[in-house]
Amino acid sequence: MKILLGKDRLANPNTWPDPLDNFLLRQTQINTSDGEVIDPTSLGNGWYAQCWSLQKNSAAMWHLYGTYKDLSGQGGLATINPQNYAQCSIQVSSTPRKILDHFYGVLENSKANLFCGYVRYIEEYEFENLLSRYKFADFLFPGNQRLFAEFMCLKRMAFSHEQEVRFIYQDINIDFSQPWSMYREYDLNPNVLFNGVVLDPRLKNWESEKIKNLLLTSGIMLNIQQSDLYERKLFQMPF
């Protein structure tokens, strides 16, 4: 909901729940010619990302991002616990150009250090195959941030239903000797950045209307609809 009230953030890849997401810096050890073992995890501290999906009406995505439950028929709980609809999913849509232009305005040095790419879903055995093609020194040459970003756009096939597009940013000013933040927060204008809003298909009509009115009164001027994923449809069949 914060995103529709003008607040959003990018997250450091170390916050991603899948341990093999950004496997290069989270699940890889670097073996030097001197027999030293290097843990590259801290190199990920300066990276931040935001994930979008190409899926418009996926049951998996609606359930993944919201814990809404239909409480009707349970002793009136839906009436005495109206905050239940606050656990629903809300989908916003935009375009890569709008998102990139916005990030260029709020992130320092982003024209050189911001990357956008489709996530490529691969089988787990392919991770080691990919690592065998490179040495870690290949990633450390000046200007090779894109190679890090490309590896951050690799994910296991088990997550292919997400159909992700990622915006990945490197903060080159980070001081590795100081505490660092897992998130980069920023302000936005939802009426400029987004094209529309779609509400959770699990919501009852009164809940959907309540959320819609809340968004309208908070200044949202976008088209607001509810997903029709679970609407009953009548089909015709001749006798």
Domain residue limits, the chain? 2-226
Residue 103 has pLDDT above 80, yes or no: yes
pLDDT at res. 3: 87
Residue 83 has pLDDT above 80, yes or no: no
pLDDT at res. 80: 47
pLDDT at res. 154: 97
pLDDT 10s digits, 201-216 = 999 888 899 999 999 9
pLDDT at res. 238: 95
Q: Provide the whole-model pTM.
A: 0.89
Average the pLDDT over 23-43 and give the result: 88
Residue-by-residue DSSP string for the chain: -GGGGTEEEEE-GGG-SSTTTTHHHHS--EE-TTS-EE--GGGGGGEEEEEEES-SS-HHHHHHS------TTSTTHHHH-GGGGGGS-EEEE--HHHHHHHHHHHSTTHHHHEEEEE-EEE-THHHHHHHTT--GGGGGSTTTHHHHHHHTTEEEGGGGGG-EEEEEEE-TT--TTS---SEEEEE--HHHH-SEEEE-TTS-HHHHHHHHHHHHHTT--S-EEE--TT---------
